Structure 1
């Protein structure tokens, strides 16, 4: 069979793992320890808290996270067949009132951690109107994505890696006039700052590829000369210092160049001149090399923009390399055998993310003013639909009854 690029569920994202895998490993830690890792898992629209039977993850209702909206249940004919997230897609929380409705997340690690934020939107004709809405989602004070499901049943589930600037994270649904916003589930997972080591901004629109899989034919034409290889042997996760811990099924497959060639080359035809990319590579030596044979290679990104030191792998031990560098413009890479290598390079998986740099992001309202106005809201029991999320930023969604400055970091000038 021809090899292909097959999207893989990095254990950090845990997006498509089987129920069994997700119950055994959650972000690389045992299921029994996941609570102490600071997970926030919300089954939006649910009326009660529960522990998922398949994964052991504790899901909360919306109570305490959002003050507005109504609970709904999708039509039975649109129940998802997804064995991992099926239960979380039955209920939805909809927001018929107000332009901006926000979930307030207070992770115990605060701004000292980076986070994976994942959302799920499964319309399922919950309102019996057969009209799929379109709306925007903001994280903090900045635009993240537009939700526009293609029809009644498919689930839209964007995710991002986020560097917070405060201890509170707002996820806001914005009514843009094309239907009532809704959400099925919202998850937040803390990440050690050594994982995906970017300093600020947002990583989004991630593509995670399992190399060597023969089940996905989408990319066969472009990479038909890459030769798949695999093993049934156990990958040594315990003896490895690889904190990323990609799924075992990903590490057991790989690709190498065809006979007579010494490089694996990838060219991202979707990247444009103003694109910004962040990349991670995952390797494991799954072949038992005969004595005296050596596999050594280097990574070259964007034609010399980044060149690694020579890399050698230990048998069945994973190695993950995330480059703490943003690559601008057209994106490509090659993995090249060194002149001293007896064998061609291999690649088990790689990840590519789009980057939103801080230069393009709005700044949140001054934290002192936020604390003060939230105290006023609580003590005076002010109830206004739009008093959610950040008070001043972005300006078009600022709270009613406030006057905000136009400073780089907005200040609240007055209340009226």
Structure 2
């Protein structure tokens, strides 16, 4: 066994109750037809327009007719001037609920380029993956990405962002959020980690994709067939399986009748060095194993994964929370000494384990209110304000380390209008607020609770009312620029002190200097 942490534990789990119905109805999914202006019923499922979930971008209709109506439209987001800026869908969710998030992309030359762009996608503050659909597009296929994340708030942000390799506008065809049952993948600490799908296959299967209604959560199981397969109806009695794989994946397998090893190079691609969640599913055909012992050991890259697994018609799942993989993966199933029948495998899933990153919730909530008070906030003010680090909001600076806080706002000359939210006072890690040369109106909020504030620049706006006298109680404040506004009343005396550079003119004709 490799060296493992407390989370890197191998589990063998048989059946779980309750038994899952094989004739389910779709749960309350959010299925978003990106770029569409109308909602529609497609394949007995209700797809909705994306206009309620995103505030920017351009809706486009593909010129090439598509059999899949959902792929006939897309939304694009402008590349020019927006490298390292994210554009987000804000989808209402239930806080602490676990969701399967799926994005689908079909290019259709909507940008006019011969090849689709490469760009990044982000969930809340966590980098999810790069999106590269070139190979699928050249084969006239759509590309999809799946991840599993827990909602940290009332909305989940799913964002696209141009990186330094992006050569045309990022785009998206569909976005799906499907709530998952509590027991699915629940050995993962979703408060600290998310999962990015690498591969999900039904072994020995050569048919079309397995998904809803066979899989009640509409997970996509791809076929993975080889010559040594068993097909057709099999006598298995699995139900209520851990992770709830569909019964259909147990109707085929990769197997060998002789007591010989099976060597499987899977997932079918080279993997970057990272930590992965691996789940392997097994169930023997009850009619063919009577009187036989199907006992075998599983190794992954020559490391013991599970020893002496006894597979019956009731089935088993063996999974590891955190397993290090790098490059090509070799899974070997070796029959135990004395076994008179070979091993088998029915299905498998591999996810990359993603460390979750989030800005302090209080700061995120405060920035949302500050944004709501502005009539024209920056277009990239969506999702997490600080994360990922390369995609923080324009004009927002943040701390580093395990506790991410907002430390500065530099929005000088951003053309902002609206008013200053009192929620500024909740950003208690702020050291600098620079909002000069905009068109902000209303009064100056009392920000005396910001004990680390060094500079407050509000010059050349349209602010009115009096200067809050408690600003003088901020001991760290050394610059207060208020010139070029329409402030009234008397300048508080406690602002006239050594070490504080106070500017109140030009402008402010009705402001009374201290006597």
**Per-residue deviation, 1:386:** 1.6
Equivalenced residue count is: 363
**Deviation digits for residues 302-354 of structure 1, max 9, x if unmatched?**
4344324532312xx44433333423446433223333533222212222333
2:387 is matched with 393
CA distance, structure 2, for counterparts of residue 166 and residue 298 of structure 1? 43
Question: What aligned pairs does 1:7-406 form with structure 2 within 5 A after superposition?
Answer: 30-35=23-28, 39-52=29-42, 54=43, 56-77=44-65, 79=66, 81=67, 86-96=68-78, 98=82, 99-108=85-94, 110-113=95-98, 115-127=99-111, 130=114, 132-150=116-134, 151=137, 153-163=140-150, 165-176=152-163, 177-196=166-185, 197-199=187-189, 200-213=192-205, 227-233=228-234, 235-236=236-237, 240-257=239-256, 259=258, 261-268=259-266, 270-271=269-270, 274-289=273-288, 292-308=291-307, 310-314=309-313, 317-329=314-326, 331-356=329-354, 358=355, 363-406=357-400
2:96 is paired with a residue whose SS is helix
Kindly state the Cα deviation for residue 263 of structure 1 after the two structures are TM-superposed.
2.4
Distance 1:310 1:322 in 2: 12
Cα distance change on mapping 1:373 and 1:193 into 2, 3 Å: same
User: Shift of residue 31 of structure 1?
Assistant: 4.9
Q: Deviations over 1:172-229 (max 9, x none)?
A: 111235111111000122223432232243333522232223579x988xx66xx222
Report deviation, 1:246: 3.3
Alpha-carbon distance in structure 2 between the residues aligned to 1:241 and 1:247: 10
Is the Cα contact below 8 Å between 2:93 and 2:154 reproduced in 1? Answer: yes
Mapped partners of 1:273, 1:59: distance in 2: 35
Q: SS at 1:32's partner residue?
A: coil
Larger Rg: 2
Q: Is the 8 A contact 2:34 2:75 kept in 1?
A: yes
Partners of 1:28 and 1:88 in 2: how far apart? 28
**Distance 1:131-1:191 versus aligned 2 partners, 3 A rule:** same
In 2: Cα distance, 1:271 partner to 1:202 partner: 21
With over 3 angstroms needed to count, the CA separation of the structure-2 counterparts of 1:184 and 1:401, relative to structure 1, is same
Superposition TM-score, scaled by structure 2 size = 0.62
SS of residue paired to 2:70: helix
Quick check: 1:230–1:286 contact (8 Å CA) kept in 2? no
Residue 348 of structure 2 aligns to a residue whose secondary structure is strand
**Aligned-pair distance for 1:123?**
1.6
Give 1:6's aligned residue.
Answer: none
Flag structure 1 segments of 5+ consecutive residues without an equivalent.
1-26
Distance 1:252 1:184, change over 3 A: same
Q: CA RMSD in A?
A: 3.2
User: Residue 306 of structure 1: SS of its match in structure 2?
Assistant: strand
Q: State the distance in 1 between where 2:286 and 2:101 align.
A: 36
Alignment partner, residue 410 of structure 1: 404
Distance in 1 between the 2:64 and 2:33 partners?
17
The residue aligned with 1:12 is: none
Which moves more between the two structures, 194-203 or 170-179?
194-203
Q: Which region of structure 1 is more displaced relative to structure 2, 385-394 or 166-175?
A: 166-175
Q: Is this contact kept in 1: 2:88–2:160, CA < 8 A? A: yes
Shift of 1:73: 0.6
State how far apart, in whole Å, the 2-side matches of 1:273 and 1:64 are: 37
Partner Cα distance (2:21, 2:352) in 1: 24
Displacement of 1:29 in angstroms is: 7.1
Structure 2 CA distance for partners of 1:389 and 1:263, relative to 1, 3 Å: same
Q: Distance in 1 between matches of 2:363 and 2:124?
A: 16
Give the secondary-structure state (helix, strand or coil) at the position aligned to 1:371: helix
Unaligned runs of 5+ in 2: 1-19, 209-222, 410-434, 436-515
Asked if the contact 2:61/2:73 (under 8 Å) is kept, the reply is yes
